[in-house]
A and B are shown apart, each in its own frame.
Chain A
Amino acid sequence: MRILIVEDEMRLAENMARSFRESSGYAVDIANDGEDGLFMAQSNPYDAVLLDLMLPRMDGVAVLRAIRATHQHTPVLVLTARDEKESIVSLLNAGADDYLTKPFDLGELLARVKALIRRGKGQGSPVLKVGDLQINTVDRTVQRNRKPIVLTAMEYRVLEYLAHRPRAVVSKTELLEHLYDYNWEKFSNVIEVYISGLRRKLNKGASAQLIHTYRGQGYVLQQ
């Protein structure tokens, strides 16, 4: 998963980013003002956007409206220092999916963002199931036939992304865009390396293939 944090307090943004990277394995981009934030949100397919309201150059509400005006459905969680009812109502009406008031709890922020991403991809439960495969997105564990499977961080991220969209064809480009943040050089052949590693670990002691390759199009996770 890849998220965008639009927050002008550099220290706060870095702390949030570190948390997402460490505890969820998300790729995180940071924008320090509204204009950068809007540009980045519109030019990259983020799985969620965290938006501060008081921003230099362009305030958070304007960014939110601009994002929604281009028919982007990316879940947006607003970080606000105000907790008056009216401003929250108007935020939600402007297209925000959720909000947190500052100062907030990092654990709560992580949980809310995870839930937003899940719901944004049509998943209800934090435990994703594809056939006999179970992926717990809370503690990031994977089981097949109730036997735990140990994955590397990158392998897990690839699998989690695929499991959020079961039975859909996911291209290498899409995977790259959602697994790496801005600062990474993206090479599509690394995806092939992760996929083959995943296949090997998932198929151990199991009969059915779970990850299918559609040549020239991408991958599908299904039993």
Chain B
Amino acid sequence: MVLSQALLALGLVFTGVFYTHRRLQASLDANLKARAMGIAALVRYPEDSKQGLIFESSLIPPKDLSSGDLFEITAEGPGLIAQSPGWPQNLDFSPSGKRIQNTKIRGIPYRVLRLTNVPILDREEGVSSLPSTLTVTYATPKVEMNLQVLRAGVYIALASLVFLGGTVVLALWGIRRGLLPLQHLASQAAQVSAQHWEFQPPAEAELVAELKPLTGAMQTMLHRLHQSFEQQRHFLGNAAHELKTPVAILKSTMQSLLQKPRTSPEYQAGLSQSLEDVERLEKLLQWMLRLARAEQWAYGTLERKLEPIDLTSTCEGAIEGIRGLASARRAEIQLNAEDGVVCRADPEDLELVWINLLENAVRYSPAGTRVSVNVGRTDHKARVIVEDQGPGIPADELPLVFERFHRGESSRNRETGGFGLGLAIAKALVEAYGGTITPESAVGKGTRMIVDLPLSSS
């Protein structure tokens, strides 16, 4: 910008100098002509016709000559009539060229005017032997004019410089002022960190229409980042927290085993307990990873390719999976399935959902109970209902069953073996596939877990 300003100023100086030069030259030329005419007027006819033309050299304005002017007057016939002192013998003046020419006389630049056919003023009729017209060549030094042009150039350049400086200062101030909202925006944005997610675009930035898309995009981006960050942190915190209890159990088992020398059966019992604990830990880890993955899907932070799968087959897989537990509790599991209920999902995930729901139903129901699984459609959705004949869940506890590590009354019996994570996993997985899970329960009658999943279009 400063460069363009400088170029502009330079152009201004050139134009100014050129214009001044033109004007000064025009005035010089006019002056030159006037002086030449003035000199020519000093030529007059003699009283006595025998004499030649007379030049009244005493009447030359002294001012003209002192400023270095030179002249020569000639006429056809008598030839040279008058010549100023110092008139050069070899004047560089082409007779065929322009009336006014630039030349150098003894190294000094001169402007030379040659006027031809200048009438002699006091010409008398009848004296025909003398010429009636003159040729006047008049030269005046250009030094003065050149000085003036130079002075004008310097003035213009100085003025341009002042103007340029002023413009630069003004422009800088203007730019800074104009960019102030952006600066505030940047300093606000710089304050955003993993600890401090709040981002409120400054009011002046909101007022600038050009900044609106930027602040909007920043807010959206930060919101998404924050969500994903919080989700990760939440999971990490939960995972660490949820691992602590099983590790504490394992550690205490081993430490109490080591507290004093024990018998071989005692060691054996302790080791098999520890192994059980480790297996629980392993299962918990797998579940947590699956939950984390499901939650990432739900938030769209993980891409997935899903095949359409038949819900009934996943239910059959799940029933097969808990056959051991079911026979131990003498529970009968009944499957009533409509044909061709298809969803897009990872079959392993859905199987885990059904297993968790079934396990819950079987564990918390009295032995010899019946659990039913219904697969069908409703309102363009796939619906799976897992129903038990257990003791039911009180209404005030119903919303809590999906909370991680929530365990109902009967879970005081540790034989149930879960960590209270099963239903939380089931819910997260179902929601990851865009579905819902709704518990319905009546104390003393049983519990229904209703899972709705989007049907696959194909």
Binding site for B on A (CB under 8 A): 8-12, 15-16, 18-19, 22-23, 32-33, 54, 56-57, 81-82, 101-107
Contacts and interface: CB of A to CB of B under 8 A. Distances in A.
A32 B412 contact: yes
Contacts, number: 71
B414 A11 contact: yes
8 contacts: A11-B249, A15-B249, A15-B252, A22-B260, A56-B408, A81-B244, A102-B245, A105-B255
Contact of B252 (A16, A23, A33, A54): A16
A102 B243 CA distance: 9
Contact of A10 (B259, B408, B409, B414): B414
Q: Interface of chain B, helix or strand or loop or mixed?
A: helix
Contacts of B23: none
Which range holds the interface residue count of chain B?
Answer: 20 to 34
Nearest to B280: A11
Given A9-B245, A11-B249, A103-B247, A19 B255 contact: yes
B259 to A, nearest CB: 6
A104 B412 contact: no
A103 B414 contact: no
B414 to A, nearest CB: 4
Given A11-B253, A82-B241, A103 B248 contact: yes
A117 B387 CA distance: 51
Nearest to B419: A9
B256 A18 contact: yes
Given A11-B277, A19-B259, A81-B241, A106 B252 contact: yes
Given A9-B414, A11-B414, A23 B259 contact: yes
Contact of A102 (B247, B259, B277, B412): B247
A101 B256 CA distance: 18
Which 10 residue pairs are nearest across A and B when measured between Cβ atoms?
A: A103-B248, A15-B252, A102-B248, A10-B414, A81-B244, A106-B255, A103-B247, A102-B244, A15-B256, A103-B251
Interface of B: 241, 244-245, 247-253, 255-256, 259-260, 273, 277, 405, 407-409, 411-412, 414
Contacts of B249: 9, 11-12, 15
B333 to A, nearest CB: 27
Contacts of A82: 241
A7 to B, nearest CB: 10
A56 B407 contact: yes
A16 B255 CA distance: 10
A56 B255 contact: no
Nearest to B241: A81
Contacts of A22: 256, 259-260
Given A8-B407, A16-B252, A103-B248, A33 B241 contact: no
Contacts of A32: 412
A27 B204 CA distance: 71
A15 B273 CA distance: 11
Contacts of B273: 11
Nearest to B408: A56
Contacts of B251: 103-106
B412 A8 contact: yes
Contacts of A54: 245, 405
Contacts of B256: 15-16, 18-19, 22, 106
A103 B250 CA distance: 9
B91 to A, nearest CB: 106
Contacts of B409: 56-57
Nearest to A36: B412
A81 B245 contact: yes
A68 to B, nearest CB: 25
Contacts of A56: 407-409, 411-412
Contacts of A102: 244-245, 247-248
A54 B242 CA distance: 11
A19 B252 CA distance: 9
